[in-house]
Structure 1
Amino acid sequence: MSFLSGTMPQAPPSQKAGIYIHIPFCRHKCPYCDFYSLPLKEASINLDEYVQALLKEWELRRPETEGLQFHSLYLGGGTPSLLSLRQIALIIDSLGPALTPKAEITLEANPETIDDIWLKGIRSLGVNRISLGIQSLSARGLEILRRHHGRRQALMAIEAARLAGFTNISVDIIFGWPGQRPQDLEAELHELLGLNPEHISCYELTIEEGTLFASWVKEGRIQPLGEESLTFFHLLVEEILTSGGFKRYEISNYALKGRECRHNLIYWENRPYLGLGAWAVSYLKGTRSQNPKLPLYLHYLASGHSPPRIEERLDLEATFRETTVLGLRLIKGISISELKGRFGIDPIHYYKTELEHLMAAGLIEIKRGRLRLTKQGRLLADEVGAYLV
């Protein structure tokens, strides 16, 4: 029996979308990071050249975005705070007219790369949300994670962002680093709450293949925490942050009311987004594509041509499955009627056997017309997603 009907839905007029700009440079590569990034001194490129390539790519790809309304612009990396005020101004001046009037404009920044003048400058340019890569407020945690800022620098960065006029500050924290104790995490989170950010992202440290951390684990230089400790840390994070007035709206993200990251919601709702920059990913009109890495990316754009991209066309069924799995990362889950209306597929029938198993295991539930993970299911979100995709 088939549960599919109709054809791949076309983007309706004024469909909500986002723009992601990848700045793949940092001062130093962090040992746990598996994102595409290069130490700037090894990249054999100046940032002006890269920004010009970004602007050329936007000019060439803008026709692909007809019918989309961009509600968010996100500069991620790497370390976007390596960009000068002039370079950021060029990007925002070029892309700004494509954004909705009250668009969210986020820039990721590391504490050691910013100062008061730069913060006030980006705020005056229209950046209205800053995401600070604090990662830890523990001197020991910063040392283990090989961060290049100190605890005092982290605290000063949050204060400086507030003084620069930011009313939407997000802070990234990594938990589960080797040797971390529950009291260490508890102290960090309580101190962070006292700094009054609007948004907190808490990520479990994962040891990814190809990173320095993965090599160190194999060599016995570091010992990852066990599953029991990590599970307890997940529960501790939720307990402390929700008690502090934050709402958990996604597996790793907490926000004050109305301060959820609009750009990230575009991903979790499987909405369209345009990715600009080396190795950036786009999802437009049912096709996911990825730019090449830096050398090829620059080569093509320097000659006025779009670089070749790896492309994957998703059919209706694949898009439905992906939308379901992404939506389950949201704490509210995903609307059954919305899935039916968007794809013409009833998820209850389509996933009949899988849902029976997951509900029997206490990992998923149907509540108020929505499919959503239970508290136990959120601890196993990746496994549930792999089962459904």
Structure 2
Amino acid sequence: MPPTTMSTRPLRVALIPDSFKGSATAAEAAQAMAEGVERATEAHARSAEISALPFADGGEGTLDAICSAWGVEPRRVTATDALGRPAEARYAASMVDGKLIGLIEAAEANGLPTVSDVPLQPQQATTYGVGTLISAALDAGCEEILLCIGGSATTDGGAGILQALGARLLDSAGQEIGQGGGALQSLARIDTQDLDPRASEVRWRIACDVTNPLLGPDGAASVFGPQKGATPQDVEVLDAALTNFADLLSAEAGRDVRSEPGMGAAGGIPAALVSLFSAEIVPGGVLVAETLGVHRVLEEADVVLTGEGRLDSQSLHGKVVDTVRRLTPEGTPVFVIAGTVDVPAAELQRTGLTAAFSIANGAEPIEELCSAAAGRIAHTAEQVLRVYLSARP
């Protein structure tokens, strides 16, 4: 029997898109790509093995992307938002390699969109609701916590998480301080006697794509505070409060994290978790790729399609498209489908991407492009695969 060749075996196509924000979730984009690929391979009388993995970089959409890949529904919990108001939030849990892993997208409970109905309150915003989600995951028996921290409205160094897990943050009179980063000015002692012991027993991995330290001009308050409504005065207060918190965390845990890269992410959330629970900091795209098994899919693929809403220079530095490109074996073509493409051809070539295609038909209203995104993604994927197959023997 003759050996199987590229022309006789099914074409292996990997579809690994990010969400097209405001237009299509990563799962919807992957489904649309699959439809286009199927039409193209049918037209060329080829069979295809399609591996569709909705992807995310550890920020918005990561929970949905991983739930889709795991084949599980998110679990709903009564928690609080960044201002302490009752709110429903979600997390996920799945058995992976014999271990129950809990996935938490922090923005479900401390994200900017959850408090967009009122003026931002940077000094009062708290991560307490994130701690409630973590408690739910621990109650479910999770042995590992994957925490994705992008999109936060908070600058409390993760203090609210500790409060939700049972730690008592006390002032000089022995009274519990309030919630939010501003309250850390009056913190005098961290009492961990009633801190949930399970939090120290699980493995923690935090998806983080920034290297900012906790404090100073490049820190959590100075760089990210203004995005959360902080005035120059708020920034000054919050930086001083986080400095006080860092001093006390160091005294309690015996580890000074203030100058470690990444501690300033999401208002300093990693600071408390790295100090007290030895949490690991992992690039978001890498963490998601490992969780989804993206490496195995890319190693077997003949051609790869990825994409996102806007392809620009940032996309080529740690975002989904960049992660897919770096994990794809050399010689395997990688095509990008995007809402808009704002990267020079020469820069694309330098990165190793094969080509990028916009789903837009010239200049058109963004509303029209968003409403027709799924169909446009499918059509563009079909055209990409038709050209690819036509160029092969």
Please give the TM-score of this superposition, normalised by the length of structure 2. Answer: 0.37
Q: Which has the larger radius of gyration?
A: 2
